[in-house]
Amino acid sequence: MTGILDIIRKELLINLLSLRFIIGLVVVMLLIGLVGYVLTLDYASRRQAYIAAAEQHSRALEDAKVYSTIKVEMDIPPNPLSLLSRGSKDLPVTITVSPYHVPTILDASGSGATISLDGTGDLPVNPLLRVFSSIDVGFIVGMIMSLFCILLVFDSFSGEKEQGTLRVLLSAPVGRLQLLAGKYCGALLSAATPLTAGLLLLVILWNISGLVTLTPADWLGLACMYAASILYLACFLALGILISLFAEESVTGLVHQLLVWVVAGIVLPAGAGYVAEFLHPILPETELIREADENYGRAYSNVRYQQTEGSWNVAYTDYAGPESFLGITEKEALNRVEYNKIIFPMKFALAEEHFHIRDAVQRSLERREEARNSLDAISPVAAYGRIVRALAGSDIGSYRRTFAAARNYRESLMEYLRPKVATAAWVTRVLDQPELQPTKENMSYWNERAKKEGEDVFLKEWWNWSRVKPLDLSAMPRPNLEVPGLRERLGDALFPCALLMVLTAGFLVMAGWKLLRYPA
């Protein structure tokens, strides 16, 4: 054991004194510092936008005057850990829940064809972005630090052999596996140094700026991300050492390792994406939606609203928009109630149908995602990307759960709204406020006033919407949008973590096997 510690110390010292380490440290620190700074500002603005939107949406609900226009905007609070892994760029910050719309993850992009479930948003627009997703700390560790690991260990054994130091090392009473363990741990400590320094720099930046406040769960998430990053570096180092043992010369080893890096980091994830797209084409969502709308249009025309008696300046609309004025009698309002009982369930059914279509599209995207994940499963870069996105809550799994929560909320909202379907529309509010109806008494009162103040009084006061009282929504269920907690996020990260562990162990076992037969 003491021999291993001596080798670790030696490896660490040699690395720390080397030019490649110093360059790597500076590059990583600079990149993490710069990207961290930019993303911190971005997070601060997203947080501000979230607070403003949440306030505005809450106010909008307080002012609601008719049930047909009730639309609940559920704002997703930005996760501080998304600073480390930004994840999908085209996923929404607000989920709209309304009787006419069942939220799906495809809402953000508007079309299933332009959304990817692998965390890289604008894929089809620019195929290059399929490979390089958001430039964030996860990207720096995933791509830049893996390259740094390669530079650290590409000559781990071949270099010692070329220099002649391997024979001196092996003449000491130290086992070959101990030597491997010492060199590996030394390299891991060396690789962990820039990562640790970079993350510390980031935390200091957050503290100084005061723009990011972490909860204990966030700190724990950050610690998990750090541990996952170390595991990732450990995997790449094990792979690097293994290649170094098979390489006849250090230069050949470096070339092989760069090749493996390109394959693991670029070719496999990108190639898997293309193959998955080919294997699982997306359903023609737009066409199906149009078809559903046409069917609805035909059904709607069969139940077109028939006005029973005259009204003043009433402009009816079929959707959630306000009818112009309230010059409507009780009889006409009751006629409208009967109509509403037919038309609103049809609207709700259309919303459900839209959801089923989009859900099917979502499922086909999920199948594509699964295929992609299986195809690039052996790439440590892809596995690491999944881990950090899951831990940061910026992966598709977290969004899926958030949308599922939003749909659950919609169910309870619909339970509340369905009984009110008859009096959902604007014109039916005259039933609650008889003073708005054009009864004889009301008419004579307002005609008197019009004589004195001019006819504007009808528009400005009597039929003005400001006279309609806001609805009492105290019994309406309120959204409680809980973003997935750390436990759920850890659950999502578990499989790729286990995969990285298996890969690392596999590389190390192979390296040990090779070293025992390695000619000094």
Q: Interacting stretch for another protein, rule CB under 8 A, among 100-108, 124-132, 138-146, 164-172?
A: 164-172
How many Å apart are CA 118 and CA 385, to the nearest integer? 10
Burial of 215 (0-12, 13-18, 19+ CB in 10 A): exposed
> For strand 94-97 and strand 72-75, is the pairing parallel, antiparallel, or unpaired?
antiparallel
Q: Is 512 a binder of another protein (CB under 8 A)? A: no
**Judged by CB under 8 A, which stretch of 3-11, 55-63, 262-270, 341-349 contacts another protein?**
3-11
CB of 2 to another protein, least distance (A): 7
Q: Is residue 20 involved in binding another protein (CB under 8 A)? A: no
Is 44 an interacting residue with respect to another protein (CB under 8 A)?
no
Within 198-237, which residues bind another protein (CB under 8 A)?
Answer: none
Q: Report the C-alpha gap between 312 and 458 in whole angstroms.
A: 10
Q: In this chain, which of 29, 131, 135, 174 binds another protein, going by CB under 8 A?
A: 174
Choose between 5 and 217: whose C-beta lies nearer to another protein: 5
Among 30, 125, 172, 502, binds another protein (CB under 8 A): 172
Q: Which stretch binds another protein (CB under 8 A): 14-22, 71-79, 313-321, 457-465?
A: 14-22
Q: What is the DSSP string of 236-274?
A: HHHHHHHHHHH-SSHHHHHHHHHHHHHIIIIIHHHHHHH
In the structure, how many helices (H) and strands (E) does the chain have? 17, 2
Tokens of 316: 């009816």
- Residues 63 and 58: their CA atoms lie apart, in Å, by 9
Nearer to another protein, 112 or 159 (CB): 159
Of 3, 77, 284, 512, the one binding another protein by CB under 8 A: 3
The nearer residue to another protein, 210 or 519, going by C-beta atoms, is 519
Establish if 173 lies at the interface with another protein (CB under 8 A): yes
Give me the least distance between CB of 482 and another protein, in Å please. Answer: 54
Instruction: Say whether residue 171 binds another protein (CB under 8 A).
Output: yes
Ordered alpha helix ranges (H), 306-421: 330-375, 380-392, 396-417
CA-closest candidate to residue 68, choices 290, 403, 259, 339: 339
Least CB distance to another protein at residue 175 (A): 6
CB of 178 to another protein, least distance (A): 9
Exactly one of 13, 22, 494, 498 binds another protein (CB under 8 A); that residue is 13
Residue 72 β-bridge partners = 97
Span interacting with another protein, options 35-43, 158-166, 193-201, 209-217, rule CB under 8 A: 158-166
Cβ proximity to another protein, 122 vs 162, nearer residue: 162
Residue 22 binds another protein, judged by CB under 8 A: no
Q: Cβ-count burial of 109 within 10 angstroms (0-12 exposed, 13-18 middle, 19+ buried)?
A: middle
Give, to the nearest 10 degrees, the angle between helix 19-62 and helix 2-17: 90
If binding is defined by CB under 8 A, does position 419 make contact with another protein? no
User: Nearer to another protein by C-beta: 246 or 495?
Assistant: 246
Part in contact with another protein (CB under 8 A); list of ranges 83-91, 98-106, 162-170, 482-490: 162-170
d(CA 180, CA 516): 10
101 φ, ψ (degrees, to nearest 5): -150, 125
By beta-carbon proximity to another protein, the closer residue of 21 and 339 is 21
CA distance 191 to 151: 10
Q: Which of 210, 216, 419, 519 binds another protein (CB under 8 A)?
A: 519
1 binds another protein (CB under 8 A): no
Q: Of 124 and 175, which has the nearer Cβ to another protein?
A: 175
E strands in 3-89: 72-75
Owner of token pair 């998430």: 221
Region of 170-178, 232-240, 360-368, 386-394 interacting with another protein (CB under 8 A):
170-178
SS (H, E, C) 418-457: HHHHHHCCCHHHHHCCHHHCCCHHHHHHHHHHHHHHCCHH
520 is a contact residue toward another protein (CB under 8 A): yes
Tokens 């998990």 map to which residue? 224
Quick one: which of 168, 251, 279, 509 contacts another protein (CB under 8 A)?
168
Residues that bind another protein (CB under 8 A): 2-3, 6-7, 9-10, 13-14, 17-18, 163-165, 167-175, 519-520
